[in-house]
């Protein structure tokens, strides 16, 4: 009988970037002073992790680098954990989108598969690349406790994968700045992984 291997993954969303709230996607805005304070307060002096994995975008990477240096943790950057590309909405606030395309936001949130922003990265492609990164992470760091510094969209996909949620429901999952989600992966050598959402939108 094969033994189960348990992996814990904590996902934390980046803090507020320079420029405040907007559809940022692939825009590489750094953290604001408020964003840095949010991240440092969320983590404090705690360090239960054996490794850090991060999106390469600076609003995630800079804090991941600081944390890994402070605690001597290995750091891996993974392009697959970038935020979804929002196409023509990149850099726009919700109010600006609503002015330019009345009703588009509610249609998008109700069914983002059928109502994506013009020129946006297809949601299925986004889910597929995040899923590939997630599956590799759970395999490569099996048996350890890992911190992922990432984006709201990436965290939504990971929660949806853990709970087997439909893609059209993705944006019904709320993710605040510096909020933490914990997912447990149990895997036997002769079977598929079993995921459990331990908490979402919480604190360490």
- With tokens 């893609």, the residue in question is 167
Tokens matching residue 160: 């949806």
Among the listed residues 98, 60, 63, the one whose alpha carbon sits nearest the alpha carbon of residue 82? 60
Place of tokens 């447990």: 184
**Hey, is 167 helix, strand or coil?**
helix
Written as six digits, the tokens of 105 are: 């936001």
Instruction: List all residues 6 or more positions away from 72 whose beta carbon is below 8 Å from its beta carbon.
Output: none
Of these residues, 14, 121, 151, 200, which one is catalytic?
14
Which position among 16, 33, 65, 83 bears the catalytic label? 83
Round to whole Å and give the CA distance between 25 and 151: 9
Catalytic site includes residue 14: yes
Residues known to be catalytic: 14, 83
């Amino acid at each position: 009988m094969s033994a189960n291997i348990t992996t814990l993954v904590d996902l934390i969303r980046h803090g507020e970037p320079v420029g405040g709230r907007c559809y940022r996607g692939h825009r590489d805005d750094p953290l604001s002073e408020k964003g840095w304070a949010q991240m440092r307060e969320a983590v404090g002096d705690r360090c239960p992790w054996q490794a850090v994995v991060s999106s390469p975008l600076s609003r995630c990477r800079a804090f991941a680098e600081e944390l890994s240096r402070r605690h001597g943790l290995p750091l891996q950057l993974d392009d697959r954990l970038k935020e979804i590309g929002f196409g023509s909405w990149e850099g726009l606030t919700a109010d600006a989108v609503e002015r330019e395309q009345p009703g588009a936001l509610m249609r998008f949130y109700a069914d983002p598969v059928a109502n994506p922003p013009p020129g946006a990265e297809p949601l299925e492609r986004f889910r597929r690349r995040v899923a590939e990164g997630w599956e590799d992470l759970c395999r490569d760091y099996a048996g350890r406790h890992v911190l992922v510094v990432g984006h709201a969209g990436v965290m939504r996909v990971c929660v949806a994968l853990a709970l087997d949620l439909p893609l059209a429901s993705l944006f019904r999952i709320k993710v605040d700045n510096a909020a933490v989600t914990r997912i447990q992966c149990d895997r036997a050598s002769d079977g598929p992984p079993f995921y459990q959402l331990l908490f979402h939108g919480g604190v360490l």
